[in-house]
Amino acid sequence: MNELLRVDDLHVRYGPVTAVDGVSLEITPGEVLALVGESGCGKSSTARAIVGMDKPAEGTVLFRGSDVPKLDLRTRRPDFTAMQMVFQDPNSSLNPRKRVGDQIADGIRAAKARGLKSNSPQEWLEAVGLDADMVGRYPHQFSGGQRQRIAIARALAAKPDLIVADEPISALDASSQASVAAMMRQLCLDAGAGMLFISHDLSVVRLMADRLMVMYRGKVVESGSTSLIWNDPVHPYTRALLSAIPHPDGKGVLPEAPAAEAPDEWASHIDEALNRVPVSKEAASE
């Protein structure tokens, strides 16, 4: 079975609120699936159920064939490091009182516990665009954007089969969003890992996701290959999302996505897309 993750008819409820209403998806190794939709549509609730942080009211979540909600938190640990989550706020993933090198080393140990080789903390820092000699610093000695890179390095150091990234670049400044998105995709491809990439920003996911799923009020309203949805959206909500991306040239079409083997080009194209997003994105601080 080539499937890494299979979610069937997932329902998540918080009291009377149905946050996720029958979502099904699957991810194969090396594939980036983007989940997009406006705030409150149920993206984070889907992610939290997938990684086992919230219990689904109904439905199944199978990670490499294991039923995630039924696994015991204590016994699933070693195997579970094969699934890593990156949050929007890096402070959720980093321990403020621990040197960043030691936190990345935790990821490396998790890889080793599964018999996998990982790089050194210094090499991981360099892989995410930071200096190797920053290894002895604490999280507060970095900017918000740098902290997010460290959280990504820590997740990748564990050599996960699957990364669930919930708005991992939304808190970054516009210029580093592009490079971090391109870097995540490339490192995922290099490792043969799959990724669920959650975002409300279609202009970014269009350039890094193989497939898109559009959520609206807890349901998936449209899914398919990224280029198909971009070029020929069917659902009115998808059309509305796409039309919300401003196009100064008035043509309404972004450049074709370059080949996945050209990360630099990805970065520059994502930059290009990001320069066209609304002012609120520009104002996002590190």
Ligand X SMILES: Nc1ncnc2c1ncn2[C@@H]1O[C@H](COP(=O)(O)OP(=O)(O)OP(=O)(O)O)[C@@H](O)[C@H]1O
Rounded least distance, CB 270 to ligand X, Å: 20
Q: Which is nearer to ligand X, 188 or 198 (CB)?
A: 198
Rounded least distance, CB 166 to ligand X, Å: 7
Q: Please give the residues from 66 up to 95 whose contact with ligand X meets the rule CB under 6 A.
A: none
Q: Which stretch binds ligand X (CB under 6 A): 41-49, 152-160, 222-230, 235-243?
A: 41-49
Rounded least distance, CB 16 to ligand X, Å: 9
The CA distance from 23 to 258, in Å, is 30
Among residues 39, 75, 280, 285, the one that binds ligand X under rule CB under 6 A: 39
The CA distance from 7 to 23, in Å, is 7
Q: Which is nearer to ligand X, 128 or 195 (CB)?
A: 195
Any contact of residue 193 with ligand X (CB under 6 A)? no
Among residues 40, 236, 246, 278, the one that binds ligand X under rule CB under 6 A: 40
The CA distance from 279 to 42, in Å, is 25
Q: Which is nearer to ligand X, 41 or 158 (CB)?
A: 41
The pair phi, psi for residue 38, each rounded to 5°, is: -70, 165
Q: Which is nearer to ligand X, 7 or 267 (CB)?
A: 7
Among residues 45, 81, 93, 186, the one that binds ligand X under rule CB under 6 A: 45
Q: Which is nearer to ligand X, 40 or 278 (CB)?
A: 40
Q: Is the dihedral of CA 141, 143, 144, 148 positive or negative?
A: negative
Burial category of 183 from C-beta neighbours within 10 Å (exposed 0-12, middle 13-18, buried 19 and up) = buried
Rounded least distance, CB 37 to ligand X, Å: 6
Q: Which is nearer to ligand X, 118 or 238 (CB)?
A: 238
The CA distance from 25 to 162, in Å, is 14
DSSP letters, 162-219, are EEEEESTTTTS-HHHHHHHHHHHHHHHHHHT-EEEEEES-HHHHHHH-SEEEEEETTE
Contacts of residue 279, Cβ cutoff 8 Å, sequence gap at least 6 = none
Any contact of residue 42 with ligand X (CB under 6 A)? yes
Nearest to 258 by CA among 276, 273, 247, 248: 273
Per-residue x/- marks for ligand X, 11-30, CB under 6 A? ---x--x-x-----------
Among residues 21, 36, 43, 153, the one that binds ligand X under rule CB under 6 A: 43
The pair phi, psi for residue 126, each rounded to 5°, is: -65, -35
Rounded least distance, CB 87 to ligand X, Å: 10
Nearest to 118 by CA among 87, 150, 152, 154: 154
How distant, in Å, are the alpha carbons of 127, 172, 228, 245 from that of 232? 36, 30, 6, 15
Among residues 4, 7, 25, 41, the one that binds ligand X under rule CB under 6 A: 41
Binding interface with ligand X (CB under 6 A): 14, 17, 19, 37, 39-45, 200
